[in-house]
Amino acid sequence: MRYQSIFHPDLFKDQTFIVTGGGSGIGRCTAHELAALGARVALVGRKAEKVENVKAEITEDGGVATAHVCDIREEESVKATVTAILEEHGGLNGVVNNAGGQFPSPLAGINQKGWETVVRTNLTGGFLMAREAYTQALAKTGGAIVNIVADMWGGMPGMGHSGAARAGMVNFTQTAAVEWGASGVRVNAVAPGWIASSGMDNYPEHMKQWIRSLGDNVPIKRMGTESEVSAAICFLLSPGAAFISGDCLRIDGGASQGGRVWPLPKAKNNEPFNGFHRATTPKVLSED
């Protein structure tokens, strides 16, 4: 069985894409979809085991992938990784800046080191990867970059460090779209809302009940799937989005559009899309 994408199977034939954070969650799903659509995928992550496992999955499914260990927060590591990818694949068509991470805490409980670590991961690292992809390859050939951010409109209480970094990434997206557009490089962002992904299992025990209730706060009364995010990313990388740049697409079931004050009735007609044949339900959502 292979990925059941809504796009035609040769959409990205003979093209190469970098996917950071490709060892799990949305990054893993997106890497699988890109590979199923004919792309060569360069999986980038801090942990060799995770990106090697996804590389093995893609290869088993008949796709092409390479694994690259890199801390995107370190400039020299990013430079060397992009160079190695170009040498191995012979070119580059786009980047999915998916790597990120944060920890739950009110603002008053975040020290400088914690704040700077999250900002470096969710903002600086994405900038470094995009800049190197542009300067080493895309400035000459054109291409597309998609930055993964988050639903931070109205603030992110409990994760203010991540909210600040993600908002910065949206502004970076807009600036890069202007500065790099003349080179044929489009830069967009997607902002996933509450997505049933493996990252949910990384939060502490006391947050489990809250995580399970998140779908109740979405107008369509459910969480999203990794496939629903991946489909949007693939569209923004595709020729069909050739005149879209500097934008941010919210993938949140309308959760950022007023549901906090408008009463939400019981929903209907809201079947999820899940084309990822290797998708697994986060443990926190499968527990009683």
276: pLDDT strictly greater than 70? yes
The tokens describing 240, both together, are 């069909």
CATH number at residue 220: 3.40.50.720
Residue 239 lies in a domain: yes
- 3-state SS string for 150-204: CCCCCCCCCEHHHHHHHHHHHHHHHHHHHHHHHHCEEEEEEEECCECCHHHHHCC
- Band (pLDDT 50/70/90 cuts) for residue 271 is confident
Residue 202 lies in a domain: yes
Residue 5 lies in a domain: no
What is the structure's pLDDT at 48? 97
199: which residues sit within 8 A by CB, 6+ positions away? 24, 25, 282
126: pLDDT strictly greater than 80? yes
> What is the DSSP track for 42-97?
EEEES-HHHHHHHHHHHHHTT-EEEEEE--TTSHHHHHHHHHHHHHHHS---EEEE
What is the structure's pLDDT at 288? 54
CA distances from 180 to 32, 67, 142 (A): 28, 28, 9
Range of the domain at 157: 16-252+268-286
Mean pLDDT value across residues 52-71? 98
More confident residue, 280 or 14: 14
- Band (pLDDT 50/70/90 cuts) for residue 99 is very high
**Could you say which DSSP state residue 24 is in?**
S
Least confident residue range of 104-113, 185-194, 267-276: 267-276
Q: What is the mean pLDDT of the chain?
A: 92
> How many domains does the chain contain in total?
1
Residue 97 lies in a domain: yes
- Band (pLDDT 50/70/90 cuts) for residue 284 is confident
Strands of the 40-45 sheet, one edge to the other: 64-69, 40-45, 16-20, 94-97, 143-148, 185-192, 248-251
261: pLDDT strictly greater than 70? no
What is the structure's pLDDT at 260? 62
31: which residues sit within 8 A by CB, 6+ positions away? 19, 22, 41, 43, 54, 58, 65
Q: What H or E segment, with its residue span, contains residue 139?
A: helix 139-141
Residue 220 lies in a domain: yes
End-to-end CA distance of the chain: 30
What is the structure's pLDDT at 287? 64
What is the structure's pLDDT at 256? 87
Token match 């992009």: residue? 82
Residue 237 lies in a domain: yes
Mean pLDDT value across residues 10-16? 97
Q: What percent of the chain has pLDDT over 90?
A: 71
Residue 216 lies in a domain: yes
